[in-house]
Chains A and B, each alone.
Chain A
Amino acid sequence: MSDLTFTLIEFGIKAAIIINIVLVMASVEVYLERKISAWIQNRVGPNRVGPMGLLQPIADVVKLFMKEDLVPKAAFQGFHRLAPLLTLAVAIGVYAVIPYAHYVNIGERTVYWGIAPNINIGVLFILAMTSIGVYGITLAGWASNSKYSLLGGLRSAAQMISYELSMGLSLLGVILIAGTLSLNEIILFQRDGWYGLRWMVFLQPVGFLIFLVSSFAETNRTPFDLPEAEPELVGGYNTEYSGMKFGMFFLAEYANMATASAFLSLLYFGGWSLPFPEFWDSIGLIEGTWSRALLQFGSFFVKLMIFIVFFIWVRWTVPRFRYDQLMNLGWKVLLPLSIINLFVTASVIIFFGL
């Protein structure tokens, strides 16, 4: 068999596994969201379906599938159907470039963990995909032919465009320091120094904060969930969706949250890298073995989960911004701050070298 066939099989298997992981992650997130919000509100949360309510997400999905799928008469039928698909597809597509661990050697082959973690435009790809996500939401708002949806869709477009700027600019700091757009290489940079702890968060604290705030806005999570602000807009862009179409938006939202968490841990917290790489080498868990890869995956997963929990925790703590506050923060605070950050980073690199 040719090399290409092998590559295709390898990628197929990886894609299948990753899609499943993403969807399972989404339901885990839903469960966590419900549990944590309950705890914060002095409730116990789901506890009926399965032990400790663990099967609640499955019940949720079953419910969504069984629900009647209503499409408003005046909606633009095609686009109305397309929007959730687009949103979900984009949300899952992002996972193509995320590295979960380094690699394992299977016979001759070096199999990287992740579909294309080494692609040299990884960061760009993610930025591009997340901006396409706006289309899904705006399209949903417009195609529903309802005031609430339209306002929600427009808000989300405005919000995403505003925050994408500062997000991109704050990322540039990381890219300048690492000198690459490939995600794996950024992780390698963070691993190779300071005993494996040369995490970008220490080099770019301001950039990290900006990125954190922007990713809240990008994922439409409280305190920036204006596109679906229930008290004002009923449900925003997804007002007119029901059944599994609504479910798709729901999934996409949680997938996006996971993406943002993954991105945060990759760019600023060393991703899959393990601290003290020499120690692991010395006890025989060298790169390329399964055990090392699994440990790395564990490291990545723990960071990911911490961020997800953080996202949920923030949602149930901070109230929603007002729209003008949102825009003020985006354009008058975060954007200048990220430009200054970029400027300082660049100056330091030029004058002091790295």
Chain B
Amino acid sequence: MNNRKNTEAERLTFWEKMYIPEIARGLGITLRQMFKPKDFVRQYPEQRWEPTGSFRGRPVLVEEDGGERCVACGLCARVCPALAIEVQAGETPREKERYPEKFEINMLRCIFCSYCEEVCPEEAIVMSKDYEIVYTSPQEAILGKDELLVPKAKLQDRLEFLRQYK
């Protein structure tokens, strides 16, 4: 049985098979593109972009009532495919007995997959809108709790976006 019938190659016409006219056509298309106006290009440092709630920027910890929501369960550290997160739990007298004594994300490892956000039982780690992620040394890229904590008010968009899909 000829199971190669009706492949893409066989449906081509003779001239299409000759490549050259088709290539010329392609060149024509790109040529036209070249002269189109480029007016939707954003001049980045001057014109910034405000992402929507669905944007996955730098992961941050939600700060609520002056403390973190995170209970240091370590699930985000476990699920992180890039092993970017390190959590060390400690005990507090608060109602939720557990809090992260140390919470570090190594931004050189993070791949912005948002798995940590998805797995978190406390909605304590979310992807922020921060996309300007520049460091001048590998040490600087390891963010501790002080850099990670962001007040809940600033993360409203993302939290609402997440609710939609819960």
Contacts and interface: CB of A to CB of B under 8 A. Distances in A.
Direct contact of A and B (CB under 8 A): yes
Contact of B27 (A43, A209, A317): A317
Contact of A313 (B20, B31, B35, B38): B31
A36 B38 contact: no
Interface string B11-27: 00000000010010011
A317 B29 contact: yes
Residue from B23, B33, B34 having most chain A Cβ neighbours under 10 A: B34
A39 interface: yes
Contacts of B33: 39-42
A36 B23 contact: no
Interface centre among A40, A43, A314 (most CB of B within 10 A): A40
B133 interface: no
B98 to A, nearest CB: 43
Contacts of B27: 313-314, 317
Interface centre among A314, A316, A317 (most CB of B within 10 A): A317
A318 interface: yes
Nearest to B19: A329
A43 B30 contact: no
Interface string A310-339: 000110111000000000000000000000
B29 to A, nearest CB: 7
Interface string A19-51: 000000000000000001001111110000000
A174 to B, nearest CB: 21
Contacts of A42: 33, 36, 38, 40-41
Nearest to B31: A313
A318 B23 CA distance: 7
Contacts of B29: 317
Contact of B38 (A44, A314, A316, A318): A44
Nearest to A41: B33
Nearest to B28: A317
A313 B30 contact: yes
A43 B44 CA distance: 13
A317 B31 CA distance: 9
Nearest to B24: A317
B26 A317 contact: yes
Contacts of B34: 36, 39-40
A41 B29 CA distance: 11
Contacts of A40: 30, 33-34
A39 B36 CA distance: 8
B161 to A, nearest CB: 29
B136 to A, nearest CB: 14
Nearest to B27: A317
Nearest to A36: B34
Most chain A CB inside 10 Å of its own CB: which residue of B23, B30, B35, B40: B30
Interface in A40-81: 40-44
Contacts of A316: 30
Contacts of B40: 42
In the A-B complex, the 8 residue pairs with the closest CB atoms: A39-B34, A317-B30, A40-B30, A317-B26, A44-B38, A44-B41, A40-B33, A317-B27
